């Protein structure tokens, strides 16, 4: 059995399975519609920022193709970007403990993506 690679953020998709305890803080209920649950594959991320926000453009570059398409744009506050970085670092460390070191390969030069 593979341990969960998700941090315990208090998310609970099955609230009815949990005993009700009025002294505990309420848990966030997250809804995931079918279209979003399908996800979108990206193999390149462009990152920009200003003083108020970070913008992540998740792109799919088809090998050998002359064009690339942004699949999703996520805009977050600087504080949330830093929490995202810490959560990603933690999850990668746990992943590598279970599955071995991730080889990074050669970085993609964004200027070469047209």
Which pLDDT score, from 0 to 100, does residue 106 have?
79
Q: How confident is the model at residue 47 (pLDDT cuts 50, 70, 90)?
A: very high
Asked if residue 3 lies in contact with residue 94, where contact means CB atoms within 8 angstroms, the answer is: yes
The residue assigned the tokens 């964004």 is: 110
| φ and ψ at residue 82, rounded to 5 degrees | -70, -40
The residue assigned the tokens 């998310």 is: 11
pTM of the model: 0.66
pLDDT exceeds 60 at position 72: yes
Q: What mean pLDDT is reported for the chain?
A: 83
The kind and range of the H/E element at 37 are helix 34-37
Kindly give the pairing relationship between strand 68-76 and strand 54-61: antiparallel
Quick: pLDDT tens for 92-105.
999 999 999 999 88
């Amino acid at each position: 059995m593979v341990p969960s690679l998700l941090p315990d953020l208090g998310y609970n998709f099955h609230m009815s399975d949990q005993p009700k305890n009025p002294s505990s803080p309420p848990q966030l209920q997250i809804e995931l519609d079918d279209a979003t649950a399908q996800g979108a594959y990206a193999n390149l991320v462009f990152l920009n920022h200003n003083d108020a926000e970070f913008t992540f453009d998740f792109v799919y570059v088809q090998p050998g193709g002359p064009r690339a398409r942004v699949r999703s744009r996520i805009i977050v506050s600087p504080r949330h970007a830093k929490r995202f970085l810490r959560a990603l670092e933690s999850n990668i460390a746990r992943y590598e403990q279970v599955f071995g070191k991730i080889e990074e390969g050669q970085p993609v030069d964004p200027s070469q993506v047209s």
